[in-house]
Amino acid sequence: MQSGSAQNVLFTQYAQSCIKVKARQLSRRSEFSRSDEGDLENDLWVSLLKKATCFDPERSSSNTFADRVVNSAAGMIVRRQHRQKRAQGCRAISLDATKIALNSGSKKPLSQHVSEADLSRRTGSTRHDDIAHRENVAAIEHALLAMPEDLRDLCRLVMGGSIASAARDMGNTRRRVRETLQAARPYLEQSGLGTN
């Protein structure tokens, strides 16, 4: 393959934007964080560099080749990340195995020592706390009652949909809706809700 063909694959505007978009998409997945975006972009570039010698202009266009290589590399990165999350290299222990309790000296299967919190931690989910949910609902209602009527109506619109739908319903811009929602922050803080 000619070096010019490899450069056509690597340095097209399409390949650059494809890698940038794919790295941004990956960084928004639960396995990664936003700070990983640059590293993911570098990994995708390395994959494209390694595969550039396989490019054959008679079989496909450079854009198609770059797209396939980047998507395949992204899939492999996600697969590798899942492997690491499953504690690669750790020795698995059966829940049927017994463990001796220190205080009583009796033997119990490990399955009896696994709590709901352990399950939530393993699956990456959190348990729904009904009491905290009810407290939050009461705090929001208290804050809404203290607000002026127009601000209360806007908050209810956003709660029932999104900022975009509220802006559309009001015939306003999303930026204006966000700015107006800032006025609700003190009411929410006074009701005991955080600033997040």
Structure tokens at 115: 């709590």
- Model confidence at 15: pLDDT above 80: yes
Could you tell me the CATH number of the domain that includes residue 68? 1.10.1740
Q: Give the pLDDT of residue 196.
A: 45
The residue assigned the tokens 């959190």 is 126
Contacts of 42 (CB under 8 A, 6+ apart): none
pLDDT tens digits, residue range 16-60? 899 999 999 998 888 888 888 899 999 999 999 898 888 888 888
Q: Tell me: do 99 and 134 sit in the same domain.
A: no
In a domain, 11, yes or no: yes
What pTM was estimated for this model as a whole?
0.43
Residue 98 resides in a domain? yes
Q: Examine the domain organization and report whether 102 and 134 are in the same domain.
A: no
Q: Kindly state the tokens that stand for 95.
A: 């829940």
The 3-class SS string of the chain reads: CCHHHHHHHHCCHHHHHHHHHHHHHHHCCCCCCHHHHHHHHHHHHHHHHHHHHHCCCCCCCHHHHHHHHHHHHHHHHHHHHHHHHCCCCCCCCCCCCEEECCCCCCEEEHHHHCCHHHHHHHHCCCCCCHHHHHHHHHHHHHHHHHCCHHHHHHHHHHHHCCHHHHHHHHCCCHHHHHHHHHHHHHHHHHCCCCCC
| Same domain for 35 and 48 | yes
Question: How far apart are the C-alpha atoms of 56 and 5, rounded to whole Å?
Answer: 8
Of 85, 118, 153, the one marking the end of a domain is 85
Region of 124 (left: φ > 0; alpha: ψ -120 to 50; beta: rest) is left
- For 104, the domain range is 93-127
> Using one digit for the tens of pLDDT, what is the confidence trace for 72-104?
999 999 888 877 655 556 666 777 777 655 566
> How many domains is the chain partitioned into structurally?
3
Q: What is the pLDDT of residue 2?
A: 46
Establish if 196 belongs to a structural domain.
no
Residue 41: inside a domain = yes
Mean pLDDT of the chain: 81
Task: With respect to residue 195, please indicate whether it lies within any of the assigned structural domains.
Answer: no
